[in-house]
Structure 1
Amino acid sequence: MHGAALGAALGATASLVHAQGVTINFTCGSTEQAEHCQRAAEEWAQQTGNRANLISMPNSSTEQLALYQQLLGSQASDIDVILTDTTWPGILGDHLHDLHQLLPGDITSGQFETVIANNTIDGELKAMPLYTDASLLYYREDLLEKYDRPVPRTWDEMTDTAAYIQQREREEGNRGIWGFVFQGRAYEGLTCNLLEWVVSEGGGLFLDQDGQVDVDNPATRRALERAHGWIDTISPRGTLSYVEEQSRGVFQSGNAVFMRNWPYVWSLTQSEGSPVRGKVGVAPVPSGSSGRHVSTLGGWSLAVSRYSRHPKEAAELVAYLTRRENQKYRAINLSYLPSYVDLFEDPEVLEAAPFIGTMRGPVEQAVARPASLVKTLYPRYSNAIFDRTHRVLTNEASIDEALETLNRDMLRIARRGFE
């Protein structure tokens, strides 16, 4: 074992025991997803004669990444298959096998090019998509209908409609309602939100392919000014501590008109006992002055550690867990977006989660965070972005101060990344 954290993780292992073959240790996400991975891994074990151990990981993705970096940095072989967030193929790429070398045939056929490109580092496929993600706007269909308001297409329209419905509802006695909730805590989710705000205003990713920094520009200023204006008007101050689940909690309890979040929320809002069941609609993330609707590319993938004692079998398990049939199951039962394009038109998928039929465009056009460019420096890059953004939203820094500091931070990171 390598460290107390790994010992605790391996101590919380669900064993899928088979009499013959090798043992593959793997990780696979949240409770609901892990349960499906466990069932699918048992099928694979029965078919191949191998064994698979599902290893529990910390809930926090930040803690997960830190544990992976500890294990892979010491070249530990304890975990064979690693669940990776969207930016991690770039961060962890040096420690991951090229799956093209381990699996036969065209293993990416039929999948979104944007997703595969995100997982390809220096020409090597570092991870296979378990499911993909693209952010979207949730809204209360019943309230928009009640006040005869259309689904907003722009951030300005959303802001105006949120303020109007919030005021009218409060006048009718619904004092707890707010217009809009999003992920405002100083963490990766705020980086995703800012990316959408800025690119929709015609801005870029703050760092281009040549390593040139472009932070202090009109697009970033417009985005920050608008978001700053939401706090305490249409968004509660508590938004500044929200991650995805806190945002969902407010919206699903009926206390928000609009919410920016990921597709997994859909199945939860429609679950038995949900106060907003049958009252929720989804739409593309609003556009800014550029007219472009911008979603951040998200999702989770499976990778094989370069230090696995059984890379061939580990890659076979990855292929099984990420295959089309298992992605269809997750789409139907968990409303997770598949990486296979044809499943966005599958009748069974659309019956269970109709909104998935509208998500092909947002996935194809989703903006990937530049982890494949800055690689191991990405955590520092993102930390600078969300920290300075959060300071603006909390009034700890003016936009001028925040952008000046962020520009300095980004220049320093860029110099290190392109030396």
Structure 2
Amino acid sequence: MFDSNILKQTCTYNNEIVGLPLTLGYRVLYSNTLYLEKYNKTIPKTWDQLLSTSKEIIKMEKENYNNTINAYNGLFSDNEEGFCSIYQFLHSFRKTYNSSFPELTSQEAVDALNMLKKMKNEIASDTIFGSDESYAFISLLNENTLFTNFWIYPVISSTFKNIKMSAPPGVNENVSGSSIISFNVGITNKIKPEYLNDTITLFRFMTCKETQKKYLKNFLVFTAILSLYDDPEVCSEIDCELFKSLQPIQRPASKVNDYFEYSKRFRKYLYDFLYRSETSALDALKKIDDMTRIYYVSINPKESLFGFINTIIIVVTILLMFLSLIFPLREKYSSFFDVLPFDFWILTVLGSIFILSSFFAYTESVTSIKCCFNIILIAFGVTLNFIPFLCKLIINFPEENKISNWTYKHRYLFIMLLIAIEITMDVLIVIFPFSVKDVIVNTMDNDEAKNYRICQMNTTIGKALIISLVFYKLIIYIAILILAFIEWHIKTTYYDLKFIVITIYINILSIILLVIFNNIQFKNYLSYNYLNGYLITIGALSNYLFLYGFRIILGFLNKQNTKVQFIAKINRNFIDSTYTKTNKISQLESSNHDESNTAMNEKTMNTVESDNINNVNRANRRYSIMSKIINYHYQVDVSNVKESKLSNQSTNNYL
């Protein structure tokens, strides 16, 4: 029943209708038909017509010594009336009738301001254009103004026969713009139950078609039920064609957080151009647009060449990371990757690729989905980076134990369990997603700042999930650091552990910096996006280089044949093993030779030996866990063979 366009503009908040319009107010153009008929002119439908008609009539009247006549009042005062005039003027420069309000930095908006200034300079003055509503009303009473921009008052048209109302002009005859105000009625959700039924009855009566028609006929309301303007009974009393020709535009009060601050700055920047000539039309409009525009790093080279170059670099780097998985399969490089099986290296490299891919969350417009994928890619990537090494260190423990044995026998199950925990938390993040928050840093005191958008978790469960993700990573880090300390001097993983520990420290530092950066309000969107994006990039590259990439560099610098080195290593191990067995046999023969000599003393030594055993047992009981850890820390060999078996799987990849 009510016009959807009017409801959307005047009765909607957060995309919900919160009331209905009881009556409306419109801006119209009042034309002085006395002068128009005198010079055989018609009511203008475009701004060019209004300008040319005004110039011609003013010129003729001044030749007849009429110096009191004015062409157009403008009503561009420094208050809300002025804002309404500006906004409807911009609306009147739409390309077509069905076009939406022009983008503030569009050519249409620039043309509108330039025409506005041209009209002020050629047919008015700063004083007349900047006059308020009282001047407009008096000029109508005195009938000394050709055209007046003012609110619709039927009594004026009916009282002053030389004044006729029409739709304001536009850039062409099919386009117009008329400010609208709405006096709405609604029902609060806090109403007492005993009053609810009576209130609903009154609400229905005030907004029903019959009531609206009754008061419309008497000029007491201007309804938003447009079908009434086709009712012959109504049209016999009012000018229905006038109301049907109006193209309303409402002030953007519900589209900004602080409308009055927005309106104040809007008028200041525009009047800097219109009255003070301190800036160009485009620059003034850009400043107005910056108040609400949300900036982001574009990957479109036409908008941001720097963003486009960064994107190309990231894509090429990801591609190179993926292609680098061929190196463990090449004979020259394979020995540098024998610390892990090849399928474990795939997980590690994919982890770095996932982390690096999260860079794209800081390009283009920020959305809730991108926020979720950002944290999921980082979290999942870190897990894939480190769980192969955690598995390796558990298996490589210096002493036989149940956990090491189980992990060795079920290492793929171990990896899958850790990944399953990660995936579970990541899925829950999607179920309880992020929201986005606009960070408004562009203010009157800092109008060069660019607003931007950030991810924000508002739900308690979502925050708990993020903390759980971080805690899960810390558990992995701590476990690796403890095992790294225990196995610090083991020859087969000596240098690997150093790089793993460095990588963990870099990751912890990166997490701390990410938390800090996301709790600082930057004054520029580039600072926020690039600092976070580059920090993630550094983390991904350091993980890749210190866990995987440095092995490629060592293989490239190595000039010897890897296969020859591998065979030589096997031979040395075989010789060392043979030598050890020979020594053991010699020691056994010497022991048998001495056994007969010591037999006679065995009985006399039993008492002393028993005392020594008791002392050793007591000492062992006092032997602390820390002492064991210290002993493990300085151990250089692994007492079990599981570690070499796991490493040999990597060697067999190319044999």
**Deviation digits for residues 6-35 of structure 1 (CA, Å, limit 9, x no counterpart):** xxxxxxxxxxxxxxxxxxxxxxxxxxxxxx
Matched, 1:321 2:210: no
Corresponding residue of 1:387: 268
Which residue in 1 is equivalent to 2:241? 357
Per-residue deviation at 1:148?
Answer: 1.0
| Contact 2:103 2:109 survives alignment (8 Å) | no
**Which of 169, 178, 187 does residue 286 from structure 1 map onto?**
169
CA contact (8 A) 1:134 1:295 kept: yes
Normalization by structure 1: what TM-score?
0.60
Secondary structure class of the residue paired with 2:213 = helix
Contact 1:142–1:279 (CA<8 Å) still a contact in 2?
yes
Query: Is this contact kept in 2: 1:199–1:219, CA < 8 A?
Result: no
Q: Distance in 2 between matches of 1:285 and 1:385?
A: 22
Offset of residue 248 of structure 1:
2.7
Asked if 1:142 is matched to 2:34, the reply is yes
Superposed, 1:108-187 pairs within 5 Å as 110-118=1-9, 119-187=11-79
For 2:197 and 2:132, how far apart are their aligned partners in 1?
37
Tell whether 2:331 aligns with 1:331: no
Shift of 1:227: 1.4
Q: Is contact 2:273-2:284 (8 Å) kept?
A: yes
Deviation at 1:415, TM superposition (A): 4.8
Q: CA deviation at 1:220?
A: 2.0
Summarize the alignment of residues 294-309 of structure 1 with structure 2, pairs less than 5 Å apart.
294-309=177-192
* Aligned equivalents of 1:334, 1:317: Cα separation in 2: 21
Matches within 5 A, 1:7-406: 110-118=1-9, 119-202=11-94, 214-231=103-120, 233-263=122-152, 265-271=153-159, 277-288=160-171, 292-309=175-192, 310=195, 313-334=198-219, 336-354=221-239, 356-362=240-246, 365-372=247-254, 374=255, 376-395=257-276, 397-400=278-281, 401-406=283-288
Query: 1:383 and 1:348, CA in 2 relative to 1: closer, same or farther beyond 3 A?
Result: farther
Alpha-carbon deviation of 1:307?
4.2
**CA–CA distance in structure 2, aligned partners of residues 249 and 329 of structure 1:** 31
Deviation per residue, 1:237-262 (Å, 9 max, x gap) = 33444344431321232021112223
More strand per residue: 1
Equivalent pair of 1:181/1:251 in contact (CA under 8 Å): no
The alpha-carbon distance between structure 1 residues 115 and 312, as it changes in their structure 2 partners (threshold 3 A), is farther
Give ranges in structure 1 of 5+ residues lacking alignment. 1-109, 272-276
What is the CA-CA distance between 1:342 and the residue it aligns to? 3.0
CA distance in 2, matches of 1:371, 1:198: 16
Contact 1:231 1:237 (8 Å CA) reproduced:
yes
Q: CA deviation at 1:221?
A: 2.0
Q: Which amino acid aligns with 1:390?
A: Y
What code does the residue aligned with 2:228 have? L
The SS at the match of 2:94 is coil
| 2:256–2:292 Cα contact (<8 Å) kept | no
Give the greater-gyration-radius structure (CA): 2
SS at structure 1 position matched to 2:104:
coil
CA distance in 2, matches of 1:290, 1:415: 41
Change in Cα spacing, 1:174 to 1:318, as seen in structure 2 (3 Å) is: farther
Is contact 1:287-1:294 (8 Å) kept? Answer: yes
Instruction: Write the letter of the residue equivalent to 1:293.
Output: S
Offset at 1:286? 1.2
Task: Give the letter for the 1:392 counterpart.
Answer: F
Deviation of the 1:285 alpha carbon = 1.8
Q: Which amino acid aligns with 1:287?
A: G
Residues 307 and 149 (structure 1), Cα distance of their counterparts in 2 relative to 1, 3 Å cut: same
SS of structure 2 residue aligned to 1:386: helix
Question: Do the aligned residues in 1 keep the contact of 2:253 with 2:259 (CA within 8 Å)?
Answer: yes
Identity fraction in percent? 18
Deviations 1:342-389 (A, max 9, x none): 3213445334332x3332242xx43344444x2544444333322322
Amino acid at match of 1:249: I
**How far apart are the structure 1 equivalents of 2:64 and 2:198?**
62
Q: Which amino acid aligns with 2:164?
A: G
- Following superposition, the deviation at residue 323 of structure 1 comes to 3.6
Aligned to 2:292, what secondary structure does the other structure show? helix
User: Are the aligned partners of 1:135 and 1:262 in contact in 2 as well (CA < 8 Å)?
Assistant: yes
Q: Distance in 2 between matches of 1:350 and 1:256?
A: 29
TM-superposed CA distance for 1:175, in Å, is: 2.0
Q: Larger relative CO (CA 8 A, sep 6+): 1 or 2?
A: 1
- For residue 222 of structure 2, what is the amino acid of its counterpart? L
Is the Cα–Cα contact under 8 Å of residues 331 and 337 in structure 1 kept in the other structure? yes
Closer, same or farther: CA 333–258 of 1 in aligned 2, 3 Å: same
Task: Check conservation: 1:186, 1:241, Cα contact below 8 A.
Answer: yes
* Gapped regions of structure 2 (runs ≥ 5): 296-437, 441-450, 455-655
- Letter of the 1:327 partner, please give it: Q
Partners of 1:231 and 1:123 lie apart in 2 by 38
Residue 157 of structure 1, CA deviation: 0.8
- In angstroms, what is the RMSD of aligned CA positions? 3.3
Match of 2:292 among 410, 415, 418: 410
Q: Secondary structure at the match of 1:360?
A: helix
Change (3 A) 1:175 1:403: same
| Equivalent position amino acid for 1:357 in 2 | E
2:350 paired residue number:
none
- Maintained 8 Å contact 2:76/2:83: no
